[in-house]
Amino acid sequence: MQPKPILVIGATGKTGSRVATRLAAGGHAVRLGSRQSETPFDWEAPDTWAATLDGVGSAYVTYFPDLAFPGAIEKLGALCEAAKAAGVERLVLLSGRSEHHARQGEDVVRASNLGFTIVRSAWFAQNFSEGYLRAPILDGVLPMPGGDTPEPIIDVDDIADIAVAALTEEGHEGELYEVTGPRLLTFADMATELSSAIGRPIRHIPISFEDFHAAIAQSGGEFVADVFTAIARETLDGRNAHLTDGVMRALRRPPRDFAEFAQQAARSGAWAVAA
């Protein structure tokens, strides 16, 4: 019998794209779950879910844009029910560290009677190279709230490696992997590492949460700014200023350091500017 495909929900995102690529490279049958995929999946269109889940054995689940958005927890619960009805056996959920909405999402998956693994993540290093902070980095600045609060920022490649292991290997069912990088860094420390890797000065600019809100609202609107500012206030207050062993427990190796991420991203042209 052909093995059942593995569904990657959020297959165009930072983690989902990496998970899908790794699964395919390992010879696994992969079904991409996004609004643009061959079998479309849309969190806002539950009528797309059944076809996407049909015949799937396991799934990697990320909620876009964030589990803190209104209705996200209810939709995740409905997805779990749809997955059970389709015969899915295992979910790997990406969660956020010290976010109370993310904890609610974790509880929904735990109560689903599906096999599960939860990856509870620290702040992504790739926010600097692929996300909303890439543009200011290109301008030589890193404007962030939170003052001198340190963050154990994690390389998304570590998250992808854990997700693939949980989807394809035994021994991860029922596990919660809270994952961080190997050291605590302030945003000023991160700016220093980025400066070294890129070869030009990157200056950290401490800003207020109000200024952070205004900057997001300018491009994403007031509602999006409200949600992401609330998450920043919740997670940059010092509660996450400690390391965990999630990467080591899941992969039997230490997490990648931020300096390694920055150097590799720079070599790949993440912050290249036109001559």
Per-residue pLDDT of the chain (275 residues; tens, 9 = 90+): 568 999 999 999 999 999 999 999 999 999 999 999 999 999 999 999 999 999 999 999 999 888 988 999 999 999 999 999 999 999 999 999 989 999 999 999 999 999 999 999 999 999 999 977 898 999 999 999 988 999 999 999 999 999 999 999 999 999 999 999 999 999 999 999 999 999 999 999 999 999 988 988 887 788 878 888 888 898 899 999 999 999 999 999 999 999 999 999 999 999 997 54
Structure tokens at 66: 């964030």
pLDDT for res 1: 57
**pTM for this one?**
0.95
| CA count, 13 A, side-chain hemisphere, 121 | 27
Answer positive or negative: Cα dihedral of 36, 37, 38, 41.
Answer: negative
Beta carbons within 8 Å of 190's beta carbon, 6+ residues apart: 128, 142, 153, 204, 258
Residue 115 to residue 88: CA distance in whole angstroms? 9
Count of CA atoms in the C-beta half-sphere (13 A) of 252: 3
Instruction: Give the span between the Cα atoms of 224 and 216, in whole angstroms.
Output: 7
pLDDT of residue 275: 46
Q: Does domain 6-125+154-180+242-255 have CATH number 3.90.1150.10?
A: no
Q: What is d(CA 264, CA 19) in angstroms, rounded to the nearest whole number?
A: 19
Q: What is the pLDDT of residue 234?
A: 87
CA distance readout (Å), 182 to 127, 186, 253, 263: 18, 13, 11, 16
Residues in the chain: 275
Residue closest to 9 by CA, chosen among 47, 37, 46, 28? 37
16 neighbors 62 (Cβ within 8 angstroms):
yes
Q: Return the residue matching tokens 């029922």.
A: 174
Question: Is residue 141 within a helix (H) or strand (E), and if so which, with residue range?
Answer: strand 141-144
Distance from C-alpha of 190 to C-alpha of 262, rounded to nearest angstrom? 9
pLDDT at 218: 82
